Structure 1
Amino acid sequence: MLRARTNHTSAVLNGEIYVIGVDMVEVECYDPYNKSWCAISPALKYVSNFAAASCLGKLYLVGSCAIKYNALTLQCYNPVQDLWSVITSPFIPKYLSAPRCATLHGLIYLIGDNTKKVHVYNPEANIWQKVVGQNQTVPPVPHLCW
């Protein structure tokens, strides 16, 4: 990386590795074909306790907002435009300790480590839903096996 860091997260988008974290939510991108790192625009809002995932050609960053620690904020990076945006979405989950993200079938799953809570975000519909059971989900979320 261009700068050594701790307390970061990473995600793969379009065959490149994005590393996000530390001061001002800095973002670096590694291109394995050129074997080089480059800095890209930092996220718009500072977040702590965050996770990232790529979905449908964009990079999503979700974390606790510095202003209101018990609320999450969602930001999206469009690599084609090299542009971050803050996404206002209904039903965004409350604070989750050490959240982790995973993407499946065009949906982003957000899991908190200190709870059994799992939320799912549909970027195309811009809506969050809570996964309601171990083997039951809220439609249109695909069936999950735990």
Structure 2
Amino acid sequence: MSLELETLGFDNALLPVGDLAEAVAFYERVGLPVKFRLDEAGIALLAIGKETPGLLLRAEDGYGHRPPPWPAARLWLEVPDARAVARSLGEAGITPLDPPFSTSTGYVVEIADPWGNVIGFTDYLKRPELARN
């Protein structure tokens, strides 16, 4: 028997980090602005487009730096041009995991934060009718 579940969309995506200040600095270099930060709670919410929910960073005690596990869960964010994002990341000193790669809808470039969380930036250049406006 399968459950009938009505989902309405995404709420926040949570990423564990070892140091909130370091994580905020990393993601600000990536270009994701902070919506709010509560150091006493060990959390910061990064803005994702015009959405109310965002990317929630949560400090975890004893969570050290690590390379991304393979295969790792990935969070992909839509951008107008993933290859342009790859160039901007390089200019900011952030090395993508691989060069941008082609998908059926466009291109993707992925990065990993110091704790191995993988974030991808994907576009819909091959299928613009599916892109957000």
TM-score bracket, shorter-length normalisation: under 0.3
- The TM-score, its normalising length taken from structure 2, stands at 0.24
**Higher RCO (Cα < 8 Å, 6 or more apart):** 2
Is the helix fraction higher in 1 or 2? 2
- The TM-score, its normalising length taken from structure 1, stands at 0.22
Is the strand fraction higher in 1 or 2? 1
